[in-house]
Amino acid sequence: MAYLFTSESVSEGHPDKVADQISDALIDHFLAFDTDSKVACETLVTTGQVVLAGEVKSKTYLDVQKIARETINKIGYTKGEYMFDGNSCGVVSAIHEQSDDINRGVDRASKEQQGAGDQGMMFGYATNETENFMPLALDLSHRILIELAELRRENKDITYLRPDSKSQVTIEYSDDNIPQRIDAIVVSTQHDDFGDDDTMLAKIRKDIVDILIPRVVAKLPKQIQVLFNDDIKYHINPTGKFVIGGPHGDTGLTGRKIIVDTYGGKGAHGGGAFSGKDPSKVDRSAAYATRHIAKNLVAAGVADEVLVQVSYAIGVVEPMGIFIDTYGTCPFNMTDGEIAEKVSEIFDMRPFAIEERLKLRSPMYSETAAYGHMGRNNEIVTKTFTQPNGEATTLDVELFTWEKLDYVDKVKEVFGL
């Protein structure tokens, strides 16, 4: 019997994502001037206020208030009427030095013997239902909000948009797990107050259905475009009005959108958030490494769908173990346990090895903090960072290294494909 599956996304202006982006902007600035920085930064945003807290061990000094304000302005909170804007909000810092009890488990005389920054389990997932090996419902949810943000910044076809928004896509699957059609799309977007409630809602609904969705569909592969039809149920700003939003409408916290950040409810999640953590925290680095493994396994033809789990003990170098679930989609006669053994031969999952393989000690994290950490484009960008004393550094930074298909040939060789 056919079934429905739903995933959601939130925009860069969502209060939790504002918090994530500030935390990751701090990570990037610390790493830009001291690649050995150990950072765990949490951010809280609310009406007219930003609170920074966390632990840092670094040789560099940053103007954290300036970084927070620049991040907020870049997102689009630049007007006093939003009750939260980068130029006027208060920024309070309660950042202090990292505990020696934690640090002793990570820093070692030999970097190769670096222990895990915490215990826990991390999951990576990949599926061949999309070109970027991501679950389709989540991929479409992200695309809708990315395009909505483009429309907001263009301020031409739609001129009333504000930064906060959410999306949700429901897809009907066949019994053999093949997407059949889009069943429902939800879009809630913050907007200016430009008329009575009924007039605003009618205008917003028409613009979303007639302007936003066609722009999204036009950028999709043909096999995904055909899933859109005239019978889609649209729920546009279902409450009827969304003027009050952002951190004024809802307090935001770092790390509260972990399913949006990963696979939209497909696969599994170990519970650890990513943003605000340097790569010695395996919550982040091992989640990226398991996505890298899963994507390369699917691309190599080991399975149509793969879940990878790895687990660690704090201060211990080697992982507790690697688990693989191919959901019965492996096309050849090999158990998931046997696949896991071969994966262990191919991929070194010690924390420092992950950092080296994925180049995680570069300032690559601001771009991850909105629209998902997985399924993104691997590319090199140039970034400039400035310290309070005016010292600046310009770096070429490779983004989303865990999305590279650089192990496909090695996987095929080991698996005899």
Extract the annotated binding site for Mg(2+): 16
Look at strands 233-236 and 179-191 and give their pairing: parallel
Binding site residues for L-methionine, as ranges? 55, 98, 250, 281
| Backbone angles phi and psi of 126, in degrees to 5 | -155, 150
Q: CA–CA separation, 68 vs 87, rounded Å?
A: 10
Contact 357, 348 (CB under 8 A): yes
294 with 124: CB under 8 angstroms? yes
Please tell me the distance from the alpha carbon of residue 394 to that of residue 386, in angstroms, as a whole number.
Answer: 9
Q: Which residues pair with 386 in a beta bridge?
A: 392
Distance CA 345, CA 339 (A): 10
Q: Count Cβ atoms below 10 Å from residue 49 Cβ, excluding itself.
A: 14
Structure tokens at 370: 């909105």
Tokens of 330: 């492996």
Instruction: Name the binding residues.
Output: 14, 16, 42, 55, 98, 164-166, 241-242, 250, 256-257, 273, 277, 281
Report helix, strand or coil for 385: strand
Both tokens of residue 171? Answer: 């897809």
Cβ neighbours, 10 Å, residue 41: 25
List the binding residues for K(+): 42
Q: What are phi and psi of 8, to 5 degrees?
A: -125, 165
Phi-psi region of 371 (alpha: psi -120 to 50; beta: other; left: phi over 0): left
Pairing mode, if any, of strands 379-386 and 392-399?
Answer: antiparallel
Residues of each annotated binding site for ATP: 14, 164-166, 241-242, 250, 256-257, 273, 277
Radius of gyration of the chain (CA): 22
How would you classify the pairing of strands 233-236 and 252-253? unpaired
Q: Is 337 helix (H, G, I), strand (E, B) or coil?
A: helix
Nearest Cα to Cα of residue 61 among 93, 16, 101: 93
Residue 336 contacts by C-beta under 8 Å, 6 or more apart in sequence?
A: 323, 324, 325, 326, 330
Residues near 242 by beta carbon (within 8 Å), at least 6 away in sequence: 164, 188, 189, 190, 191
